[in-house]
Structure 1
Amino acid sequence: MIDFLYHSILIGIGATAVFDLWGLFLRYAFGLPGANWGLVGRWFCHLAGGTVYHEDIAKARPFAYERAWGWIGHYAVGILFAAILLAVVPSNWLQQPTLIPALIVGLVTVGAGWFLLQPGMGAGIAASRRPNANRIRALNIAGHIVFGLGLYASALLIR
């Protein structure tokens, strides 16, 4: 169990860092805005209090240290997704990681954003309430593919 937690933490942090580097690349190469970790932190803080869905998270009651909570929640979710990967792959996957399971988990996890985070923050299912919903969806898919690649790369690094 300790090995499972240890590997989940290392792989989750590594994959989330790869995801964040992708976001930086998009920001500096194409001028795309980065994630607003303060508002994500606000959502996590309200979630801890039992409120999942907001009409507009920007209008919800603020909390101290929202940005820090957003970053902590972001990496905690990455660790959780890595644990899910390790729970569903064969036990020898860590000795010889393969790309396909990591990519599948990366793609499946886009659903958490589309059906929980985005509606919870007021953006609607799969950002349907945003004027650029299709662009957001494409970027979500690309980002989660990169996250899947990060899961695989991190597993290769720690094996």
Structure 2
Amino acid sequence: MNDLLAVVGIGVGATAVMDIWGIVRKPLLGVPPPNYGMVGRWIAYMPRGQFRHDAIAASSPMRGENVIGWGAHYLIGIAFAAMLIGISGTSWIHNPTPGPALAVGIGTVAAPFLLMQPGMGAGIAASRTPNPATARLHSLLTHAVFGLGLYASGWALRLLN
């Protein structure tokens, strides 16, 4: 399999695992799934020069925000898969191991902590949310699940070859 196609498959697969976790955690932990429409709203304001909001939900809705948010979610997942392969080398595609996948998955929590949450009005590492410690824990768990998804997707692609 072409390495680029493998990266796309691993990224899409890992992101889908993360989305399944988002659905499952509602009945398990009482936490609703993420609203990627809000991510799309945040991104849709960027061409207008607005990169930070006091509260993204209070900002006026933008046309196509759900499509933008979901598309960005999957493209970011693919980019993080590319980062995994960039760090570990293409040999990881042929022999996936959990360590690098989990390290990258957990490391990707820096993106919401330092970019998304502050830009959307939640503060650095959710510091402006009602319960920052809980929000941080859920972000960390979700990104660890993404790391497991990277590993599982790598193995699934390996089995398909």
Question: TM-score, normalised on structure 2?
Answer: 0.92
Count the aligned residue pairs.
Answer: 158
Deviations 1:11-70 (A, max 9, x none): 110000000111111112232111112211101212344432111112223211211211
Indicate yes or no: 2:88 matched with 1:98.
no
2:85 matched residue in structure 1:
86
- 2:48 and 2:156 map into 1 onto residues whose CA distance is 37
1:55 matched residue in structure 2:
54
Please list, as runs of the form range in 1=range in 2, the aligned pairs for 1:2-17 lying within 5 A after superposition: 3-17=2-16
Runs of 4+ off more than 4 Å = none
Q: Which runs of 5+ in 2 are unaligned?
A: none
- 2:49 and 2:3 map into 1 onto residues whose CA distance is 29
Cα RMSD, aligned residues only: 1.5
Instruction: State the SS of the aligned residue for 2:94.
Output: coil
Is the 2:11–2:77 Cα contact (8 Å) retained in structure 1?
A: yes
Is the 2:117–2:124 Cα contact (8 Å) retained in structure 1?
A: yes
- 2:8 and 2:148 map into 1 onto residues whose CA distance is 16
Is the 2:37–2:65 Cα contact (8 Å) retained in structure 1?
A: yes
Instruction: Name the aligned partner's letter for residue 21 of structure 1.
Output: I
Instruction: Name the aligned partner's letter for residue 51 of structure 1.
Output: Q
Q: Which runs of 5+ in 1 are unaligned?
A: none
- 1:80 and 1:3 map into 2 onto residues whose CA distance is 16
